[in-house]
Amino acid sequence: MRSSTAPVRCCTSKLATSLSLLAAVLSFGIAWATAATGAESVAQDVNEGALLEQVIVTARHYDNGIGTSDAASEGTISSDLVDERPTLRPGEVLEFVPGMIVTQHSGDGKANQYFLRGFNLDHGTDFATFVNDLPVNMPTNAHGQGYSDLNFLIPELIDHIDYRKGPYFAKNGDFGSAGSADIAYRTSVATPFAVATVGEDNFQRAVAAGSTALGNGLQLLAGAEFQHNDGPWTLPERLNKSNGLLTLSGGDLAQGWSTSLMGYSAHWDSTDQIPQRLIDDGTFQGRSFGRFDAVDLTDGGETGRYSLSGEWHRKGADSATRAIAYAIDYRLKLFSDFTYSLDRPTTGDQFSQQEHRQIYGLSVNHASDLKLCNLPVRTEIGLQVRHDRIHVSLYDTEARRIIGTTRDDQVQETLAGFYGQATLQVAPWLRGIAGIRSDVAQFGVDSRVDERNFGSASAHLYSPKLSLIAGPWDRTEFFFNAGRGFHSNDARGTTAHVDPKTGDAVDPIPGLVASRGYEVGARSEWIPGLQTSMALWRLDFDSELVYVGDDGTTEPNRPSTRRGIELNNHYVPARWVLIDADIAFTRARFSTYDPVGDHIPNSVDQVVSLGFTLRELGAWTAALQWRYLGPGALIEDNSVRSRSSLTTNLRIGRKMGSRAELTLDVFNLLDRKVDDIEYYYESRLPSEADPVNDLHVHPGEPRTLRLTFRTRF
């Protein structure tokens, strides 16, 4: 299902708009002032010293300084920032990516909803995510194409997060059109530690990790996590999850290797989205009904992810090589009911999406430094191969009991990509990056329900890339980026000839759908302590093709165009304070005419994030974070729109000696009644004679307190 936003009072919306305009004026003023100063050589002693000082100041939380990236919308987030700010769920670490919003429309064991650059990314389509070098996105997933479940993430073990936006980077392949994030784990920790958290709604979490030297340069890291949570729901969530990591490494940054074992399992009951009319009425089947109640009391799920991976690298004076290999075993079983009694009045509309897959992958890249007409050139070539063997099914169920089969398929899917790029330093103030990527996909589907959907298909795509980086002048640099990207479609759609629900004839859809993106940006550190970046961008898709896991079908849609502006500000006025202000405005439209309208449903127009972090105030630290998710169209003619939401999270920490720390997190500090998502579609309750088009919402959590004790040994 798609996702949307939440209600707040009008004054909140006006406040967020005012803050957005204030930050916009600030950023444009900085850019104007920078241009007005003229171009002075960065090699001058005074500028060189100032630049070095600025990088040192900002490097604690971000590695986004001048000369560190190839786009204004690219950057690195350090573990310090992840540690210092509160996150309600593991997937919310992606909200450190400027402009990203992460929500949930079901149980906390399910993948999150992601919003970025005018996309409701559903559960991960068009944003590629990697953890410890392993892909998270699942093509041909039971619930949705590119399903990206980050609940196995252990935030305490994160070393850094590299993020990129847009299809401008040759190394990014499937699902990377809107952006990507590489979440890197540590291979060691300075001292062993243990974390214990308790909170409202029976929240309990324990984490422990440590590393030790084994001799001969070997290092062993082990970490484990256990969590239980009932949530604020009338039907207790009963989320139980366990998580573990074991990494053996050797060598150093110049030449070394590591191998990792990861294991994760979870099961839960879920309160899915509910119709607004039922909340307004206040009763259901003779009982009172509120925002945190469920229509179907038997929804829920279980999942598991287990992996073995290895990494090897070698860096010389003028070359570098890296190789990664992995094997993943993944399981998912979901029970959901979003329409209640629309299709099956007697048994209800609950359905189950199930899959079990094995994934095998390899990634190799080699970079070398050359000379071209006495100009330095950095070349890189890479190969990425991934093979998925999937048993994926869609069942009709009643109270988690299978009563019918819609789809049952054995799928084999292989995606191979080869890329090459060259970085040429044309002048001290100008460098260019040209690259090209070639991707080939093979799909094989064995349909066990209808042999007419049996078959094989293939697709290929070439994706050129280009970036130009000019500067710096007065600690300001400018960027131009362009590139072609893509996302794969569900393999079952590439061989489909019959709709599994209706039996109607359908046409197969392309296996790969192309996108084209452009971006102009700037980054400035002209004001000491303040780093500002701005990006004007556009992204076109050949088709808004989406696999609808609820029905087992693929919906082709019209081509689309998204464009927007992003303004990111990171300010360190003193060593002990960090201020962030990230603002994004987006316009998302279908690019061809249709009388139903041109708005892309569930796209969001505005995103604002403001953060204040105070640290090293004696034994105290504190962080305050505001997150604003703006309104957006829920249907094509824009006659129904989602409501905006504004939430505030607070963290206060106090050191207890040199080895222990106590932290209080308060989520939704002002206890606002906000929704994590809003959809608009047709449903029918058991008491209703006819279907009703209505808002369907999943509320955000009320004010929630959690207390964490952390100790080092």
When comparing pLDDT for 527 and 34, which is higher?
A: 527
Please give, one letter per residue, the 3-state secondary structure of 432-498.
EEEEEEEEEEEEEEEECCCHHHCEEEEEEEEEEEEEEEEEEECCEEEEEEEEEEEEECCHHHHCCCE
Judge if the upstream peptide bond of residue 631 is cis by omega within 30 degrees of 0: no
Q: For the residues 259-274, what does the mean pLDDT come to?
A: 97
Number of domains in the chain: 1
| pLDDT for residue 547 | 63
Do the strands 274-275 and 283-284 form a parallel or antiparallel pair, or are they unpaired?
Answer: unpaired
pLDDT tens digits, one per residue of 363-420: 999 999 999 888 999 999 999 999 999 999 999 999 999 999 999 999 999 999 999 9
Q: Is 373 inside a domain boundary?
A: yes
pLDDT tens digits, one per residue of 230-261: 999 999 999 999 999 999 999 999 999 999 99
Cα–Cα nearest to 678, from 644, 642, 633, 636: 642
Q: For the residues 217-227, what does the mean pLDDT come to?
A: 97
Residue 78: is its pLDDT beyond 50?
A: yes
Q: Both tokens of residue 77? A: 């987030």
Which residue is associated with the tokens 């957006």? 632
Sequence letter at residue 41: S
Q: Which of 116-130, 268-282, 650-664 has the lowest mean pLDDT?
A: 116-130
Task: Calculate the CA 676 to chain-centre distance.
Answer: 15
| pLDDT for residue 500 | 87
Q: What is the CATH number of the domain that holds 26?
A: 2.40.170.20
pLDDT tens digits, one per residue of 141-162: 999 899 999 999 999 999 999 9
Q: For the residues 667-692, what does the mean pLDDT come to?
A: 95
Q: Is 301 inside a domain boundary?
A: yes
When comparing pLDDT for 528 and 25, which is higher?
A: 528
For every residue of 597-664, DSSP letters joined together read: -SBPTT--SEEEEEEEEEEEETTEEEEEEEEEE---BSSTTSSSBPPPEEEEEEEEEEEETTTEEEEE
pLDDT tens digits, one per residue of 508-529: 999 999 999 999 999 999 999 9
Q: What is the mean pLDDT of the chain?
A: 90
Phi, psi of 290 (to 5 degrees): -125, -170
Q: Is 474 inside a domain boundary?
A: yes
Whole-angstrom distance, CA of residue 574 vs CA of residue 577 = 6
| pLDDT for residue 4 | 36
Residue 301: is its pLDDT beyond 60?
A: yes
| pLDDT for residue 56 | 37
| pLDDT for residue 29 | 36
Sequence letter at residue 277: R
Residue 2: is its pLDDT beyond 50?
A: no
Domain region containing 275: 10-73+112-135+151-204+226-712
| pLDDT for residue 550 | 64
Tell me the pLDDT band of 57, cut-offs 50, 70 and 90: very low
Whole-angstrom distance, CA of residue 249 vs CA of residue 266 = 28
Q: Is 432 inside a domain boundary?
A: yes
| pLDDT for residue 64 | 79
Tell me the pLDDT band of 120, cut-offs 50, 70 and 90: confident
Q: Is 106 inside a domain boundary?
A: no
Cα–Cα nearest to 311, from 378, 361, 386, 245: 361
Q: Residue 243's beta-bridge partner residues?
A: 225, 264
Whole-angstrom distance, CA of residue 367 vs CA of residue 336 = 47
- DSSP SS3 for 400: coil
Please give, one letter per residue, the 3-state secondary structure of 23-51.
HHHHHHHHHHHHHHCCCCCCCCHHHHHHH
Residue 490: is its pLDDT beyond 90?
A: yes
pLDDT tens digits, one per residue of 313-356: 999 999 999 999 999 999 999 999 999 999 999 999 999 999 99
Q: Is 65 inside a domain boundary?
A: yes
- DSSP SS3 for 285: coil
Q: For the residues 558-587, what does the mean pLDDT come to?
A: 95
Q: Both tokens of residue 305? A: 């992810």
Whole-angstrom distance, CA of residue 221 vs CA of residue 243 = 14
Q: Is 145 inside a domain boundary?
A: no
| pLDDT for residue 557 | 85
Q: Both tokens of residue 362? A: 């390899």
Tell me the pLDDT band of 697, cut-offs 50, 70 and 90: very high
When comparing pLDDT for 33 and 662, which is higher?
A: 662
| pLDDT for residue 60 | 53
Q: Is 213 inside a domain boundary?
A: no
When comparing pLDDT for 384 and 34, which is higher?
A: 384
Tell me the pLDDT band of 549, cut-offs 50, 70 and 90: low
| pLDDT for residue 430 | 96
Spatial contact of 115 and 3, defined as CB atoms under 8 Å apart:
yes
- DSSP SS3 for 82: helix
